Amino acid sequence: MKDQFDRVHDYLRISLTDKCNLACSYCMPKSPCFLPKNELLTEGEILSIAEIFVKELGIRKIRLTGGEPLLRKNAEKIIESLSHLPVELAITTNGVMLDRFFPLFEKIGLRSLNISLDSLISETFKAITKRGYFYKVFKNINQALAKGFHIKINTVVKRGMNDDEILDFVNWTRNSPVHVRFIEFMPFENNQWMWDQVVSYKEILDKIKSSYAVEKLDDRPDSTAKSYQIKGFQGTFAVISSVSVPFCNNCNRIRLTADGKIRNCLFSQNETDLLAAFRTGKDVQALIRNCIAQKHAERGGLGTLDAQGAEKVYALKRPMTAIGG
């Protein structure tokens, strides 16, 4: 599928739930209102809609997201069903429940895990997530590495929260084949985003360069991350510069929320209700193609984030936990 700017969309992100067992302030509102069960995509609907995307619309990769996708009660059945589709299947998780799913992932050949981890210090982790799961998550990450999984660590960097740990994360890649991805703090509903809390791509890179000799790596044309490595280190690091240096010109992503809404951009203010159409027997392919055709050139058409009042404009949408990242 191509949009009006000739961008090919072949990567689908499916949110299995808007619930999470962590409560990170940049993602989860203080008073979350979770979706009722009857409004969620069922196991069968997820598979049927995914089949349309893959067999009819050219999707080549599916990533399962949330909330926390492994928190969904029938997550194992959903994941195994989707593994039979001819796509690359991946998942983004906070790692809390990861150890329970190792046998399934090994059985179906799911080898790519993105794990959210915003601090290497247990007290800071607890302050960010409001939960005391640091040692469990870190143990699960090390188990996954030992089992040969390809591990990317997603680290949202926020000034005054964890920006003092940037070099610690990079040093982690010295003797471990882990791939750390620093993510600029982005605005979503009720996450109190302010421009001065953003630690930019340039600032992150300059800080790392002050201590290490940095080598640029080649990125895929559709990559959201700018990748680097320290010579001699086993792992790598990257920066996802959604705020300061957007990568909209090569975006190939489509998002399906847990309640069956299609979003053609993470920052989009508009959604297409695919689930309602599917349940009433309407042509969902046409709805999907129309949604992609209407995609804006950049950031959902909302303009730059450094503009006056941008934090209010960008906050007029779902919180991150309800979108699926």
**What pLDDT does 123 receive?**
98
**Summary mean pLDDT of the chain:** 93
Q: Tokens 């421009």 appear where?
A: 195
Summarize pLDDT for 220-273 with one digit per residue, the tens: 988 999 999 999 999 999 999 988 888 899 999 999 999 999 999 988 888 999
φ/ψ of 265, rounded to 5, equals -155, 145
Q: Which of 24-38, 118-132, 304-318 has the highest average model confidence (pLDDT)?
A: 118-132
DSSP alpha helix (H) spans, 251-309 = 274-279, 284-293
Contact status, residue 92 vs residue 61, Cβ threshold 8 Å: no
Coil, helix or strand at residue 11: strand
Contact status, residue 128 vs residue 24, Cβ threshold 8 Å: yes
What's the CA gap between 325 and 321, in Å, rounded? Answer: 7
> In CATH, what class is 11-323?
alpha beta
Cβ within 8 Å of residue 27, ≥6 positions away: 20, 188, 191, 319, 320, 321
Total length of the chain: 325
Q: Is the pLDDT of residue 320 over 90?
A: no
Summarize pLDDT for 9-20 with one digit per residue, the tens: 999 999 999 999
Query: In the chain, what is the straight-line distance between the N-terminal and C-terminal CA atoms, in Å?
Result: 21
Q: Is the pLDDT of residue 166 over 80?
A: yes
Nearest to 1 by CA among 60, 47, 48: 60
Summarize pLDDT for 19-37 with one digit per residue, the tens: 999 999 888 877 778 889 9
